[in-house]
Amino acid sequence: MPTDLAPAETERDRARGRYLACRVSARSACTIKIRTDATYVPCHAPRRFEAQLAEKTTLTSDMSEFVLVSETPAAFLAGQYALLSLAADGPKRVYSMANVPNDRGEWRFIVKRVPGGAFSDPLFRLPIGTNIHIDGPYGTAFARPEIDRDVVCIAGGAGFSQMLSVARGLAGSGRMQSRTLRFYYGGRRSIDVPSLQQISDLASQVGDLRQTVVVSDPDDEPRWNGPTGFVHDVLGRDFTDGWADHEYYLSGPPPMVDATLRMLVMEKQIPHERIHFDRFF
């Protein structure tokens, strides 16, 4: 086990003997026991294949949407993710699909560029027509339209990709006509916030669509007149009751997701099975 802590680990985890499996290497033969149930049997078995970069669209100063096209249908559940790599044996990075499954073989990813990033920097420089390796789909924080409750989606950073897919999957199911969809997006400044027009386009498929953009650092933006602070705090101010009547989907940086989870689980007493989330660094 590496001695340094990963961003998702704490000293308390180590003291309790809890480790990230992806960082552990076996020194000898061992047996691994896992518990699972039908919930975790994948609807679409993960597979590895290549797709061609067909389109790039700039969304903000550091986020773009990449459209990849494969020869076979894009089979996944809205809200799942895949591992991308630029070479078959190269490093992989996890990104959520922003679209919904389709027979066109279209895979859309919203990616945030990290300065000096070993993966994102080369990805942003790739020419159209380049082949990219996809391994997926994975993830259990996918849209569940069969659950008859109003929905709250909360996104930050490139977590917008997953929440866009979830919102599209729910709206496209035909089961949201009499339900409310609240979509929250949190960014540091207004220039860090992508257009929510793609969410607005879902209005005709949803009984009541409400969108809220929250900016945490508005000091240099005198023209900003929207909500300020952290997105989970604004969510807490918006709701006065009815917390348990909603299904929650979260995706974004770990501090945002963790703060929202603490509020929902510890303060609002939301059952954990009604909260679906992924953390993205």
Q: What percent of the chain has pLDDT over 70?
A: 99
Contact 233, 216 (CB under 8 A): no
- Does residue 188 share a domain with residue 76? no
* DSSP-based three-state secondary structure for 154: strand
* Interaxial angle between packed helices 254-262 and 231-238, expressed in degrees from 0 to 180 and rounded to the nearest 10: 30
- The HSE-up count of residue 93 (CA atoms within 13 Å, CB side) is 18
Domain that holds residue 67: 47-138
Is the model's pLDDT at 267 over the cut of 70?
Answer: yes
- Those residues with Cβ within 8 angstroms of residue 141's Cβ, 6 or more apart along the chain or in another chain: 79, 80, 162, 166, 249, 250, 251, 276, 277, 278
Note whether residue 24 is domain-resident.
Answer: no
Rg (alpha carbons) of the chain, rounded to whole number: 19
Which of 93, 111, 138 is the last residue in one of the domains?
138
Note whether residue 25 is domain-resident.
Answer: no
**Judging by beta carbons within 10 Å of its beta carbon (0-12, 13-18, 19+), is residue 164 exposed, middle or buried?**
buried
- Does residue 269 share a domain with residue 164? yes
- Does residue 166 share a domain with residue 79? no
The two tokens of residue 44 are 């679409």
Q: Which pLDDT value is given to residue 220? A: 66
Contact 194, 59 (CB under 8 A): yes
Indicate which CATH number applies to the domain containing 215.
Answer: 3.40.50.80
Which of 138, 160, 192 is the last residue in one of the domains?
138
User: Residue holding tokens 């909500």?
Assistant: 227
Q: Are strands 208-215 and 131-138 parallel, antiparallel or unpaired?
A: unpaired
Length of the chain: 281
Q: Are strands 180-187 and 208-215 parallel, antiparallel or unpaired?
A: parallel
The two tokens of residue 160 are 């917008």
* Section 109-120 average pLDDT: 91
Q: How confident is the model at residue 45 (pLDDT cuts 50, 70, 90)?
A: very high
CA distances from 89 to 48, 67, 72, 131 (A): 12, 22, 22, 14
Is the model's pLDDT at 49 over the cut of 90?
Answer: yes
* DSSP-based three-state secondary structure for 267: helix
Note whether residue 217 is domain-resident.
Answer: yes
* Section 232-245 average pLDDT: 87
Query: How far apart are the two ends of the chain, measured CA to CA in Å?
Result: 21
Is the model's pLDDT at 39 over the cut of 90?
Answer: no
| Whole-angstrom distance, CA of residue 107 vs CA of residue 68 | 5
Question: How many structural domains is the chain composed of?
Answer: 2
- Those residues with Cβ within 8 angstroms of residue 109's Cβ, 6 or more apart along the chain or in another chain: 65, 66, 68, 82, 84, 95, 96, 97, 98, 161
User: Residue holding tokens 């849209």?
Assistant: 143
pLDDT tens, position by position, 54-96: 999 999 999 999 999 999 999 999 999 999 999 988 889 999 9
Q: H/E element holding 260?
A: helix 254-262
